[in-house]
Amino acid sequence: MKTKTTQVRPTGQERKFSDGELIVTKTDTKGILTYANDVFLRISALDEEDAIGQPHNLIRHPDMPRAVFKLLWDTLKEQREIFAYVVNLASDGAHYWVFAHVTPSFDDNGRVVGYHSNRRVPSRSAIAAADELYGVLRAAERRHDRAQEAVAAGHAALQRVLAERGCSYDELVWDLSTNGRAR
Amino acid sequence: MSELDEALYLIADVCRKAAAGNLEARVPYLGESKAETEARSAINDLLDRTDAFVREAGAASAAGAAGHFYRRFLVGGMGGAYRRAAEEISRSGDAMSRNAEQIAAAAESRIAFADQLETAVLALSERIAAAAGEMGRSANGLAGFARSAVGDAERGLETVTELRRSSGQIRHAVDLINRVAMQTQLLSLNASIEAARAGAAGRGFSVVANEVKTLANETGESSGEIIDQVDAVQLASEDAVRVLKAVTDRIREMSGLIDGIAAAVDGDTAHETTGLSELAEVLRVEVQSFLAAARA
C-alpha cells in the first residue's frame, strides 16, 4: 500500500483504460474526494482508503498547467460544466490522459453539494493537441516563481491562443474531441 | 442482525435514494468477501453510469437549446440502451444544428434578396422618374403642337369659307354679264332687222349689228365657262371645308388624349390623381419600409 507522504516521480510510462470504461470521482465543495470508482482506483494505482478524504490534486501531474485547474474551478464556481483534457499521475509514477467532464452536483433545493467528474478515453489526436497546448501554457508559467503570477501568465497565454483561433475555450475543447467534425 | 442483513440494508438504502433521484449516494464498504466487493462494485457502476447518462442528457440538451451545437452528447462509457438513447439525443442535436444552420442560411439569403430587390427597385424607380419626366415634356410639347395645328386648321377653314363667299359673288357678277349679253343679242337682232329695212343706207349699220351679235355670243360663251369654273371651285372648297373640319376634330381629340397622358405622368391636382414620377417615389418608399421589416 502506498502513502502520499512522499512526492511521486513520473516514470513516463503511459497507462490506458478501455473505451467502455468511465473513471468516476465525487468530491465535496472543497475538492476533497468522497467517492472514487473501481476504474479510478485501478488506473491511479490507489487503494480506496488512500484516496477518500484526500484532495483531488492527489493525482496531479506536474505537466498540467496551473491555469487549466484555475479555469476548471472558476467555471465550477459559476455552476457551469467544464470539459478538459487532463494528464493524471498514478501513485506508481505512470500517467494517463483523460477527457474529463466536471459538473456540480445539486441537492433538491438547487444547492451545490459537491462536484462530480466523469472521465472518458480521449483520442490520440486530441491528446497530442492538448499536450502541445499545455506545453505553451507551461512555458509561460515557468517564467514565474510565485504561484499566483504563474497562473496569471498561463491564463494570459491560453487567452492569446483562443484569440488567435477566434473561439471560446469550450469550442476549442470540442473541436479537439470531434476532430473538427462538430463544427 | 447478521452481517449479510446489514449489507443488504445498506444496499437497499442506496437503491431507494437513487430511485428517488438522489444519484449522489453510493454503496459504502460492505465487507471483505468477494461477493460483498462484487455487489458493491456492480451497484456503484450502475449508479455511475446512470449518473453519467443523466448529467449528459441534461447538459447536452441544455447546450442544444442554447445553440451550443459543438457540445455533443458524450457516448463514451455508455452501453446498450444508454448508448442508443445517447445516440438518439445526439441525432436530435444534429437535427437542431442543421435546422439552425438552415434558418441562418435562409436569413442570409433573405438579406441578400432584400439587397437585390432594393437595388432593383431603386434603379427602376429612378428610371421611371426619368422616363416620366421625358414623357411629361413630350406630352406638353405635343399638346402645344396640337393647339397650334387646330389654330392653323381653323384659319384655313376661314380662308376656304372666304373663297366660297367670293366665288359666289363672282357667279353673281357673271350672271349679270350673261343677262347683259342676252339683252345685247336681242338688241343686235332688232338692229339687223331695222338695217335690212333701211336697204342700202342701212348696209354699214348691219355690219356693226353683226359684230355686236358676235361679241354678245362670245360673251355668253365665256361667262358660261366662268360659271362652270366657279361651280368647280365651290365644289372643291366644300370638300376642303369638310376635310379641314375633320382634321380639326381629330387634332382636338388627339389634344385630349395628350392631356390625359400629361395628367397620368405629372398628376392632376384637380382630380387628386398621383403622377407617375410621384408613384415611383411612393413605390421606392414602400419597398424600403418593407425591406427594413424583412431585414429585422
How high is the ipTM of this complex?
Answer: 0.86
* Degrees to nearest 5, angle at CA B93 with B88 and B95: 95
- Say yes or no: A21 contacts chain B, CB-CB below 8 A: yes
Task: Supply the pLDDT for residue A86.
Answer: 96
Pair A12, A4: CB distance under 8 Å: no
For chain A, give the mean pLDDT: 90
C-alpha cell at B252: 382636338
Most B-contacting residue of A48, A120, A172 (CB-CB within 10 A), to test interface? A120
* CB spacing of A48 vs B71 below 8 angstroms: no
* CB spacing of B52 vs A103 below 8 angstroms: no
Under DSSP, the state recorded for B268 is B
Confidence of residue A6 (pLDDT cuts 50, 70, 90): low
| Average pLDDT value for residue range A13-41 | 95
In terms of CA atoms, which chain A residue is nearest residue B38? Answer: A38
Q: What are the start-end ranges of the E strands in B36-103?
A: none
* CB spacing of B70 vs A170 below 8 angstroms: yes
Q: CA-to-CA distance for B47 and B56, rounded, in angstroms?
A: 14
Q: CA-to-CA distance for A139 and A133, rounded, in angstroms?
A: 10
Q: CA-to-CA distance for A96 and A15, rounded, in angstroms?
A: 5
Q: The whole model's pTM is what? A: 0.64
Min mean pLDDT across A58-72, B152-166, B211-225, B267-281 is at B267-281
- Say yes or no: A35 contacts chain B, CB-CB below 8 A: yes
Give B51's contacts in chain A (Cβ within 8 Å): 24, 116, 118
Q: What are phi and psi of A181, to 5 degrees?
A: -70, -30
Tens digit of each residue's pLDDT (9 = 90 or more) over B49-66: 999 999 999 888 888 888
**Is the pLDDT assigned to residue B155 strictly greater than 70?**
yes
What residues 67-126 of chain A have any CB closer than 8 A to a CB of chain B?
81, 99, 101, 103, 105, 113-114, 116, 118, 120-121
- Say yes or no: B222 contacts chain A, CB-CB below 8 A: no
Q: CA-to-CA distance for A69 and A86, rounded, in angstroms?
A: 9
Query: What b-and-e string marks burial along B147-176, b requiring 16 or more CB atoms within 10 Å of the CB?
Result: eebbeebeebbeebeebbeebeeebeebee
User: Burial of A82 by CB count in 10 Å (0-12 exposed, 13-18 middle, 19+ buried)?
Assistant: buried
CA dihedral A5, A6, A11, A16 (to 10 degrees): 10
Give A121's contacts in chain B (Cβ within 8 Å): 76
Give B68's contacts in chain A (Cβ within 8 Å): 170
C-alpha cell at A179: 476532430
Most A-contacting residue of B50, B54, B70, B82 (CB-CB within 10 A), to test interface? B70
**Is the pLDDT assigned to residue B24 strictly greater than 90?**
yes
| Integer CA distances (angstroms), B152 to B2, B161, B162, in order | 135, 14, 15
Confidence of residue A182 (pLDDT cuts 50, 70, 90): very low
Pair B118, B262: CB distance under 8 Å: no
**Is the pLDDT assigned to residue A179 strictly greater than 70?**
no
| Average pLDDT value for residue range B175-196 | 89
Under DSSP, the state recorded for B179 is H
Q: What are phi and psi of A80, to 5 degrees?
A: -110, 155
Helix (H) or strand (E) holding A113: strand A112-120
Q: Which of B60, B61, B5, B49 is CA-nearest to residue B23?
A: B49
Which of B48, B74, B79 lies at the smallest CB-CB distance from A24?
B48
**Is the pLDDT assigned to residue B111 strictly greater than 70?**
yes
